[in-house]
Amino acid sequence: MMQTDVLSKAATAGATTTIFAGPARIKGISISYSTGATVVLNDGTGGTAKFSWTAPAAAGSIYMVFPGEGIKCSTNISAVVSATTTAVVFYG
């Protein structure tokens, strides 16, 4: 069984944010949004998209936990968040 500490970092609205500068697994995400919001989590800055989410028509919030050991990122965890969104990424 794999055991790691779970940490978190907020992604900057309207920008690309390096969540963790090394290999890690995305464990979950909390997103608050208005209409037209998007969040993409990449393996490496500008790298392979590992998770992509688009907000529904109404404003709101959502929390997701990824099953198993989470989503593996071999390079780093990078978040691209639209200007109308706040996101906190949980990783380990």
Print the domain residue range for 52. Answer: 10-91
Is 47 part of any domain?
yes
Q: Is residue 5 assigned to a domain?
A: no
Count of structural domains within the chain: 1
- Beta-carbon-side half-sphere exposure of residue 19 (alpha carbons within 13 Å): 33
Asked if residue 2 is part of any domain, the answer here is no
* Model confidence pLDDT, tens digit, residues 21-36: 999 999 999 999 988 8
Integer Cα distance of 18 and 80 in angstroms: 9
Share of the chain above pLDDT 90, in %: 80
The answer to whether residue 29 sits within a structural domain is yes
How many angstroms separate the Cα of 55 from the Cα of each of 19, 26, 59, 87? 21, 20, 8, 12
Q: What is the pLDDT of residue 1?
A: 56
